[in-house]
Amino acid sequence: MSAAEGRLRGRPPATANGRTVPERLPDAAREVFAEKGFDGTSVQDVVRATEVTKGAVYRCFPSKDDLLHEICLRVLRMQNERLDAVVTTDLPVAERVHAAVVDVVGTTLENLRSTTIFFRPLHRLAEENQRQVRRERGPYRETFRALVVGGQREGVFRDDVGAEPAVDYCFGSVRHLPMGWRSEGGASADEVARAFADLFPADIAGIAAR
């Protein structure tokens, strides 16, 4: 209804709750993929679960794979934004690291099922899509690593251990969370988040801080 965007062209996009198909489809599809796995979900399943017809799906995303790709990018972007928010705080390094870990673990667990789909081997994505995912992943890891290195330079963290393996170690574990290994245990999301955060700086920072 906005008169601002010039002359509207073509049949106007159908909206539900004010969101157009390309906006809501990835979020809706993410749930279905999380539920049944990417390979286990047919496009028909997505259509059924969504208020979107099959034709509309393919109008917005050239393939099922590209739909997954978009979902991945959204999560990655979200994570990047959250990390940036934590990093640019005034808190001391050790606390920023702690907060960052609590944040990833927390949001990962809150969206447990939604994040499951990341465990699809990257190489199943189309070449170009792989590149883009990596491009998006890189900064995340780099930002985190820089934060740790900063702490090491400040002398707050010990530096006899490389920042990189420590970060990988931590995030490997975080990314594995949705897999369900531990879903058998009974800790709350918050408890797990704190446990992770307590463990992480122990490797790197705990000792020097002592």
Under rule CB under 7 A, residue 37 binds DNA = no
Under rule CB under 7 A, residue 207 binds DNA = no
Q: Which of 87, 89, 111, 120 is nearest to 101 (CA)?
A: 87
Query: Could you tell me how many residues of this chain bind DNA (CB under 7 A)?
Result: 27
Burial class (CB in 10 A: 0-12, 13-18, 19+), 105: buried
Which is closer to DNA, CB of 39 or CB of 198? 39
Least distance (Å) between residue 85 CB and DNA: 33
Under rule CB under 7 A, residue 10 binds DNA = yes
Least distance (Å) between residue 82 CB and its own copies: 18
Under rule CB under 8 A, residue 14 binds its own copies = no
Under rule CB under 7 A, residue 48 binds DNA = no
Identify the residue among 112, 161, 189, 208 touching its own copies (CB under 8 A): 161
Under rule CB under 8 A, residue 171 binds its own copies = yes
Q: Of its own copies, DNA, none, which one sits near residue 52, judging by CB under 5 to 8 A according to partner kind?
A: DNA
The length of the chain in residues reads 210
Under rule CB under 8 A, residue 157 binds its own copies = no
Under rule CB under 7 A, residue 127 binds DNA = no
Q: Which of 30, 187, 204 is nearest to 101 (CA)?
A: 204
List of residues contacting DNA (CB under 7 A): 8-14, 20-21, 40-45, 52-56, 58-60, 62-65
